[in-house]
Amino acid sequence: MSIWQTYFTPTSAEEVLRLLAEYGTEARIIAGGTDLLLELERGVRRASVLIDISRTPGLDGIALEGDRVRLGPLVTHNRLAASPIVAEHLFPLAQAAWSVGAPAIRNRGTLGGNLVTASPSGDTIPPLMALGATLVLRSVRGERRVPIQEFFEGNRQVNMAPDEMLVEVQVPAMRPGERGVFLKLGLRRALAVSVVNVAVVVRLEDQLVTRARIAMGSVAPTVLRACEAEGALVGSPLSSERIEEAADLAARAAIPIDDIRAGAEYRREMVRTLVRRALTILAEKRERDGFPAHPPFLWGRTGGKFPYVVGKTVRHTVGGDEPIECTVNGKNYVVRGANGKTLLRMLREDLGLTGTKEGCGEGVCGTCTVWLDGIVVVSCLVPAPRAHGAQIVTIEGLARGEKLHPLQQAFIDEGAVQCGYCTPGFIMSGAKLLEEIPSPDREQILHAIAGNLCRCTGYYKVVRAIERAAKSAIP
């Protein structure tokens, strides 16, 4: 059984609003699908009608206008992390976006999706709260602006009606004298939900703090501001005594819970640690240290934007006869009967392309990695109707006739394959890395394969295979 019944691909924002008004509580917008598909699967949310905005024009801009930055809800985490405007004017947001998941998740997951899911651990929320963002919501009834503080009403609950769409996030650009940093504590370096995350923005004039904002996630049902801690900083220099006092007040403001990732007391202690560390980093002007200068995004030459859909709104119904028309490995397909499936299942069950594997089915193992319109994605989190009109490349499409892709050959030469289950995913990530950065360094390779897990060969041989392929000519 499918987790949705009808899937719309609208071609304009107006059409999205019209569909939301028509279907009301039955409908939900889907952007990257990296939260919604799992929530529908787990019964956390219900929707029989999905409205896919991931190719709708006009919702993916990043622009500096006067003293504010305007962000479209469709801007992906990788595009936030890559944007010079975001890096210069909203630096903690760039850091937060870069900390999300792994490349394939950052290529599909959007800012709007992160905000509307309203998870207490959502990584873009603390920086946007510390920066003082405003959300613009629109429906056929009109438009309203909601300060971010008033948007979150509870765990995964937001101040947004079923017929409304988030159409823009407006953020005051950081002024001269303002500094900000985002810190995240996860249980590993990639694909880690925040155990605690913290964003701090301070304004310093003549060495004195004239304004401070501290927002912390994963410590309450919604992201919290540490107002007393902020107050303790104002009017003083960022001295170690003031920093200690603010860290202590922030820890007291947290109301964390025990869960599988951490105990409440540990979380509270980590708030103290992260706030202290963040303020110390800002005092020492070290916030930009360690932010990768040329990271791989695994989007090749696309710039991370999926092509817009044109023409009329397309509707796919589960059990209906509307075909999914797409190009896979250069060959055109017209697929019927896959409207309720994921792209992964369509590739395997309907096209017989079984090189793409299912591991976790939740976006965390990377065995199902493919290229969607030239961008690395995990196909278990892409609804098959999203492939309508798209170009897909799978592991079967990498070889040129009898000649393997240099990375496939390098995997053989380096013995980087044991059971081979993870191999297609690693190769799809690695081949895109080589297209984007022909001679990657070790760190770039590790970033590129951060979303791919192997349970037998281990990673050294995989890394060596990518290094070896980089030395040979890419056709």
Ligand X SMILES: Cc1cc2nc3c(=O)[nH]c(=O)nc-3n(C[C@H](O)[C@H](O)[C@H](O)COP(=O)(O)OP(=O)(O)OC[C@H]3O[C@@H](n4cnc5c(N)ncnc54)[C@H](O)[C@@H]3O)c2cc1C
Residue 406 interacts with ligand FES (CB under 6 A): yes or no:
no
Residue placing its CB nearer to ligand FES in the complex, 108 or 276? 108
DSSP state of 126: H
Residue 108 interacts with ligand X (CB under 6 A): yes or no:
yes
- When CB distances are held under 5 to 8 angstroms depending on the partner's kind, the choice from ligand FES, ligand X, none that residue 105 binds is ligand X
Residue 165 interacts with ligand X (CB under 6 A): yes or no:
yes
- For 118, the 3-state DSSP assignment is coil
In the shown chain, the binding pattern of residues 122 to 151 toward ligand X, with x for contact by CB under 6 A and - for none, equals xx----------------------------
Determine how many CB atoms are found less than 10 A away from the CB of residue 326.
23
User: What part of residues 444-473 is at the interface with ligand FES (CB under 6 A)?
Assistant: 454-457
Can you tell me the distance from the alpha carbon of 382 to that of 207, in angstroms, rounded to the nearest whole number? 50
Structural tokens at position 307:
């092509």
Binding segment toward ligand FES, per CB under 6 A, in 150-158, 169-177, 276-284, 353-361: 353-361
**Strand 375-378 with 369-372, pairing:** antiparallel
Residues 6+ apart with CB under 8 A from 296: 103, 433, 436, 437, 440, 444, 447, 448
DSSP state of 292: -
Residue 372 interacts with ligand X (CB under 6 A): yes or no:
no
Cβ atoms of residues 176 and 154 within 8 Å: no
- When CB distances are held under 5 to 8 angstroms depending on the partner's kind, the choice from ligand FES, ligand X, none that residue 73 binds is ligand X
Residue placing its CB nearer to ligand X in the complex, 122 or 340? 122
Can you tell me the distance from the alpha carbon of 52 to that of 16, in angstroms, rounded to the nearest whole number? 9
Residue 186 interacts with ligand FES (CB under 6 A): yes or no:
no
Residue 361 interacts with ligand X (CB under 6 A): yes or no:
no
Residue 349 interacts with ligand FES (CB under 6 A): yes or no:
no
Alpha-carbon distances, residue 384 vs 7, 388, 415, 438 (angstroms):
10, 8, 34, 31
Structural tokens at position 22:
């028509």
Residues 6+ apart with CB under 8 A from 459: 449
User: What part of residues 68-107 is at the interface with ligand X (CB under 6 A)?
Assistant: 73, 100-101, 105
Q: How far apart are the first and last CA of the chain?
A: 43
Least distance (Å) between residue 437 CB and ligand FES = 23
Residue placing its CB nearer to ligand X in the complex, 69 or 212? 69
**Binding footprint of ligand FES on the chain (CB under 6 A):** 358-361, 363-368, 378, 380, 417-423, 454-457
**Binding footprint of ligand X on the chain (CB under 6 A):** 28-36, 73, 100-101, 105, 108-110, 112-114, 116-117, 122-123, 165-166, 191, 193, 363-364
